């Protein structure tokens, strides 16, 4: 009898749990559908790119030529560049702005618009670009040096007509890369510093698939999400996220509901392969198993169905390298999209 009653109670509890789970799921789906509709857009307004000199150099390219050709052949006019602390201040208080000066000056010549990323964590591996001399400092001491670097960068370029947006840190709450743990106080202090130096809007970013966006989105004037379709992870290997474009529409709607209306963009749209090894250590055939011209086309269609209207593509250095290897297809497709975002490829 006791066994029967115990079994009955367990079944009753499970039914109740399933009932509430089902109810919660229905509510979530209804609200997500509402927020997805609320966040929907009809067509993208523009395409830009992220450029990193080191990514071009790793592929054996003359990065300056690749950068100039990106303007003059690809005709891109919206670019994100980074103020790499490890490049600018290789020795304590000895600064070299040659690379970033070149990038800003070439943008100015062509009336292009730049997002300049500053901070400890900025785009491209190893994510946190900390000078060797600063790595032995504790976090607080390192922050003092970091903020000196950030102040130098903002002060140097705040009068440039090309610089339109400051990005402070890159995906600061995502535990990815060779980085110390996330520190909200340090992030807030960096944002406050940049605000005290210049009135341009501040961009904050977060992972498209692995975060809820709210912590990052509420801190900036503009929010940028990443959008990667196929990644490599040491635990699961090659992996394609099984989420539809509506996933991003719903997340955007939720974020806007919680933090208020503000510009939201796709700051990193996957445009190069993510493999178990760097692309410069693998073959074009291996690259194309993840990011072929056809997959590039599908990625753009997916992004445009996500409800966003601004996309910064990731991988322009690789497209340029492919072109030098006799494979200009992705370069040409990007060129068409940048010229007319509404064109069908």
Domain ranges of the chain: 2-339
Mean pLDDT of the chain: 91
Q: Note the CATH number of domain 2-339.
A: 3.20.20.80
Model confidence at 233, pLDDT cuts 50, 70, 90, reads confident
Say if pTM beats, i.e. exceeds, 0.75: yes
230 φ/ψ angles, rounded to the nearest 5 degrees: -130, 125
**In angstroms, rounded to a whole number, what is the distance separating the alpha carbons of residues 307 and 36?**
8
Q: Which of 164, 175, 81 is nearest to 128 (CA)?
A: 175
pLDDT at residue 17, rounded to an integer: 57
Instruction: For tokens 């007319």, name the residue.
Output: 340
Q: For 181, which DSSP code?
A: P
pLDDT for 104-140, tens place per residue? 999 999 999 999 999 999 999 999 999 999 999 999 9
Model confidence at 11, pLDDT cuts 50, 70, 90, reads low
Q: At what angle do helices 246-259 and 2-39 cross, to 10 degrees?
A: 90
């Amino acid at each position: 009898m006791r066994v029967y009653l115990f079994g009955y109670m367990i079944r009753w509890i499970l039914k109740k749990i399933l009932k509430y789970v089902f109810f919660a799921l229905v509510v979530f789906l209804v609200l997500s559908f509402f927020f997805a509709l609320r966040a929907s857009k009809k067509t993208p307004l523009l395409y830009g790119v992220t450029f990193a000199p080191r990514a071009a150099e790793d592929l054996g390219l003359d990065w300056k030529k690749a950068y100039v050709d990106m303007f003059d052949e690809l005709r891109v006019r919206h670019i994100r560049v980074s103020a790499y602390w490890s490049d600018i201040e290789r020795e304590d208080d000895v600064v070299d702005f040659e690379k970033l000066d070149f990038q800003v000056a070439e943008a100015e010549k062509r009336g292009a618009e730049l997002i300049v990323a500053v901070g400890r964590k900025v785009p491209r591996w190893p994510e946190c670009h900390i000078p060797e001399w600063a790595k032995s400092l504790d976090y607080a001491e390192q922050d003092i040096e970091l903020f000196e670097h950030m102040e130098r960068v903002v002060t140097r370029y705040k009068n440039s007509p090309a610089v339109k947006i400051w990005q402070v840190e890159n995906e600061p709450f995502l535990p990815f890369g060779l980085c110390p743990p996330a520190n909200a106080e340090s992030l807030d202090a960096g944002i406050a510093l940049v605000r005290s130096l210049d009135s341009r809007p501040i961009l904050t970013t977060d992972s498209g698939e692995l975060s809820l966006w709210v912590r990052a989105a509420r801190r900036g004037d503009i929010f940028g999400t990443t959008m990667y379709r196929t990644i490599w992870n040491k635990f699961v290997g090659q992996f394609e996220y099984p989420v539809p474009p509506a996933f991003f529409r719903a997340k955007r709607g939720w974020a806007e509901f919680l933090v208020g209306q503000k510009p939201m963009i796709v700051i990193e749209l996957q445009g190069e392969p993510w493999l178990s090894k760097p692309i410069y250590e693998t073959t074009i055939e291996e690259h194309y198993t993840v990011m072929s011209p056809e997959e590039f086309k599908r990625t753009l269609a997916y992004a445009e169905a996500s409800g966003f209207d601004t996309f910064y593509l990731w991988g322009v250095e690789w497209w340029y390298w492919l072109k030098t290897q006799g494979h200009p297809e992705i370069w040409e497709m990007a060129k068409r999209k940048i010229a007319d975002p509404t064109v069908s490829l």
